[in-house]
Amino acid sequence: MHVVMAAAEAIPFAKTGGLADVCGTLPLKLAEQGHRCSIFIPAYKRALECGLPMVDTHISFVVDMVGRPMAARILKTTLGNGSVDVYLVDQPLYFDRDQLYGDYRGDYRDNCERFCFFSRCVVEAIERLRLPVDIIHCHDWQAGLIPAYHKTNFRDFQWYRNAASVMTIHNLAYQGRYWQHDMGLTAMDWQYFNWQQMEFYGDLNLLKTGIAFSDYVTTVSPSYAMEIQTPAFGCGLDGTLRVRGNRISGIVNGVDYDVWDPRNDIHLAQRYSVDNWQAGKARNKSDLQRLVGLPERADVPLIGLIGRLAEQKGWDLVKPLLEQTVDSIDAQWVILGNGEQRFANALSELARRRPDRVALRLEFSDPLAHKIEAGSDMFLMPSRYEPCGLNQLYSLRYGTVPIVHATGGLIDTVNNLNEASLATGTATGFSFQNYDFESLKECVQRGIDTYSREPKVWATLVVKGMTQDWSWTNSASAYESAYRRARELAAIEGRL
């Protein structure tokens, strides 16, 4: 198959989150499995400065943005020693900016226009480049218009006739919702501005558009695929998703073990594997403690946290947990991330008052993230909701036992320690069901007690986690199945 992806981010060109990892890595794995893959992304300032050589395809055209003609130029580079073609949609007025989606004042006011332009350019460029498309794989709201163009034969392009569309939701909370008069930017007929397709409480909703028009929908974990079809997690789109329930599946994001594996991690004080994890983790623990200014104690449990300081990530529970237990529970905490000021202020005060137990770095540091994964005994990830999550997958490989809220991708990847899972040897961590303070506190205490009092049980958790395979190879195979299903459904409808 020839799979063409359209997304707002892809490593190494531009990244704000896990979307970029998927779109930069999945095509390479699909190419390894014998498929042809191409990617379309905007030609952001940082993308053009990523260090890869860019060539001009000499494909250029003009898009009418509600009476304003906007020129587009298509640039090209490759990934994976030429195995994946990457096309960049160049229009400096839209994309020559320091950030992808906004600045210190908030989101860019023309984001709807920017990504309507991008989607329209992708369908135009595919036609002009004469790419033979079997699957057009669109990611998040920024590419949500493309399935609509495809399904409605917008501009009657040749490539539409042999292609099926797949829409991937990375986080349903981000929908691309704009006022109804931005409908003109899409160039779609107003007949599609209805409650079943593009309209959402009087507004234009680009993610809903992609969900409604695509042949198949995926999201980034099986549990999240079920959760988003409920009012609690559906962000207002649960009804739209339930209608498409037989066309939705969840596929857990993969881990790039070339980067995240303690056997070859360049950031570690000592590399290690499942065969010598005790010695390796002990050395990396003391290195981490020394680096962040914690007392070098081998006996105390060290708990790591990495990520945005936001309620979605569980900080409304972690903050009171630390405030109430930092003096009474003999444990160390190392925290890396930034975000809401109220959480940053509270954590700063805790780190100032108990520097022997709380180490805080209000930043994002990739080398330190690797050191935290290797040096911590446990990794706490109590997200209110989590479409997939990656840090718990990194933790498993590094022998750092995850403590998670049982939601989305976390429940799909971390098997809670209980009598049954202990008996079958399938446990890999600890999870709590109810999202409340007492449940989190009890779960963390279970983890600390197991670490301190049951070393043999702890060892089974570590070894089981380190020997699991969450690689992109498995995820790519699951996407292959989704692509085949999309084409089957399109054929049933008589479009292939």
| Run of H or E including 370 | helix 366-375
Task: Count Cβ atoms below 10 Å from residue 19 Cβ, excluding itself.
Answer: 24
User: For each of the chain's 496 residues, which pLDDT tens digit applies?
Assistant: 999 999 999 999 999 888 999 999 999 999 999 999 999 999 999 999 999 999 999 999 999 999 999 999 999 999 999 999 999 999 999 999 999 999 989 999 999 999 999 999 999 999 999 999 999 999 999 999 999 999 998 988 999 999 999 999 999 999 999 999 999 999 999 999 999 999 999 999 999 999 999 999 999 999 999 999 999 999 999 999 999 989 999 999 999 999 999 999 999 999 999 999 999 999 999 999 999 999 999 999 999 999 999 999 999 999 999 999 999 999 999 999 999 999 999 999 999 999 999 999 999 899 999 999 999 999 999 999 999 999 999 999 999 999 999 999 999 999 999 999 999 999 999 999 999 999 999 999 999 999 999 999 999 999 999 999 999 999 999 999 999 999 999 999 988 8
Dist. CA 452–CA 466, nearest whole Å: 20
CATH of 277-468 among 3.30.70.20, 1.10.540.10, 2.30.36.70, 3.40.50.2000: 3.40.50.2000
Judge whether 5 and 137 are in contact, CB under 8 Å. Answer: yes
Provide the pLDDT for residue 254. Answer: 94
Instruction: Answer positive or negative: Cα dihedral of 278, 281, 284, 286.
Output: negative
Provide the pLDDT for residue 296. Answer: 97
Provide the pLDDT for residue 245. Answer: 84
First-last CA distance in the chain:
14
**How many residues in the chain?**
496
CATH code 3.40.50.2000 region(s) in the chain: 2-254+473-492, 277-468
Dist. CA 491–CA 243, nearest whole Å: 20
Helical H runs in 130-205? 145-151, 183-186
Residues 6 or more apart whose Cβ sits within 8 Å of residue 352: none
Judge whether 376 and 400 are in contact, CB under 8 Å. Answer: yes
Provide the pLDDT for residue 480. Answer: 97
Dist. CA 378–CA 325, nearest whole Å: 17
Q: What is the CATH number of domain 2-254+473-492?
A: 3.40.50.2000
* Extended beta strands in 281-363, E state: 302-306, 332-336, 358-361
> Which residue from 95, 169, 115, 139 is spatially nearest to 3, judged by alpha carbons?
139
Dist. CA 76–CA 90, nearest whole Å: 10
Provide the pLDDT for residue 424. Answer: 96
Provide the pLDDT for residue 18. Answer: 85
Provide the pLDDT for residue 182. Answer: 97
Dist. CA 391–CA 388, nearest whole Å: 10
The β-bridge partners of 306 are 336
